[in-house]
Chains A and B, each alone.
Chain A
Amino acid sequence: MRDMKENPVPALLYKAFVFGFGSLCVGYLVAPIVIALTMSFTSGQTLKYPPEGFSFRWYEALLDPVRSATEHAAAWNSLKIAGLAVLGALLFAVPATIGMTRMRRSTVGTIEPLLLAPLVLPSLVYGLAALIVANFVGLQPSLWLTVTGHIVVFGPLMYRAASVVAQGLNPSLAEASTVMGASWFTTLRRVTIPLLMPGILAGAFLVFIQSLDNVSVSLFLADAQTTVLPLRMFALIEESLDVRVAAISGILIGLTLVVMLVARRVLAPAKQA
Chain B
Amino acid sequence: MKASGFPYVVPMLLLSVAFFATPLAVLVGFSFSGPGGATVEHYGRFFGDAFNFRVLVSTARLGLETVVGTTLLGVPIALLYWHSGRTARQVIIFLTLIPMLTSNVVRTFAWIVILGRQGPISETLMALGLTGSPISLMFTEFGLLMAMCQIDLPLIILPLIAILSCTPVQFTEAAQVSGAGPWRILVTVLLPLMLPGLLAGWILVFASTSSSFVTQAVIGGARNVYVPQLIYREVGTLFDWPLASAIAVVLLISTGCLLVAMTMISRHRRLVGHA
* A interface, CB within 8 angstroms of B: 1-4, 10-11, 13-15, 17-19, 21-26, 28-33, 35-36, 39, 46-50, 91-93, 95-96, 98-104, 107, 111, 114-115, 117-118, 120-126, 128-133, 136, 148, 151-152, 155, 159, 175, 209, 212-213, 215-216, 219-220, 230, 233-234, 237-238, 241, 245-246, 248-249, 252-253, 256-257, 259-260, 273
Contact = CB atoms under 8 A, between A and B. Distances in A.
Interface residues on B, range: 35 or more
B23 A30 contact: no
B97 interface: yes
B114 interface: yes
A30 B213 contact: no
A125 B73 contact: no
A129 to B, nearest CB: 4
28 contacts: A1-B176, A2-B179, A3-B179, A10-B181, A11-B182, A17-B76, A17-B79, A22-B76, A29-B153, A30-B99, A33-B99, A95-B12, A96-B12, A99-B7, A102-B2, A103-B5, A115-B12, A120-B207, A124-B228, A125-B24, A125-B248, A128-B248, A129-B27, A129-B248, A132-B23, A213-B105, A219-B232, A234-B217
A1 B113 contact: no
A24 B75 CA distance: 12
Nearest to B218: A237
A33 B123 CA distance: 19
Q: Interface on chain B toward A: helix, strand, loop, or mixed SS?
A: helix
B131 interface: no
Contacts of A121: 24, 252
B224 interface: no
A180 to B, nearest CB: 15
Contacts of B251: 122, 125
A124 to B, nearest CB: 5
A159 B210 CA distance: 25
Interface in B156-214: 157, 165, 176-177, 179-183, 186, 207, 210-214
B61 to A, nearest CB: 17
Contacts of B125: none
Contact of A128 (B27, B79, B101, B105): B27
A13 B99 CA distance: 29
Given A1-B179, A219-B232, A249-B110, A30 B98 contact: yes
A18 B211 contact: no
A117 B17 CA distance: 11
Contacts of A22: 76-77, 79-80
A155 B107 contact: no
A233 B102 CA distance: 14
B94 interface: yes
Contacts of B212: 216
Given A10-B181, A46-B118, A152-B20, A230 B105 contact: yes
Given A30-B98, A32-B111, A104-B2, A234 B218 contact: yes
Given A3-B179, A124-B213, A99 B9 contact: yes
B144 interface: no
Contacts of A125: 24, 27, 211, 231, 248, 251-252
Contacts of A257: 98
B19 A25 contact: no
Given A3-B181, A11-B182, A230 B12 contact: no
A47 B118 contact: yes
B30 A132 contact: yes
Contacts of B9: 95-96, 99-100, 103, 111
A215 B73 CA distance: 27
Contacts of B213: 124, 215-216, 219
B4 interface: yes
Contact of B24 (A126, A212, A237): A126
Given A29-B153, A230-B104, 13 more contacts: A3-B180, A18-B79, A28-B73, A29-B73, A31-B114, A32-B111, A36-B109, A48-B118, A101-B5, A114-B16, A121-B252, A213-B105, A216-B228
Contacts of B34: none
A47 B20 contact: no
A39 B19 CA distance: 41
A18 B23 contact: no
A159 B183 contact: no
B38 interface: no
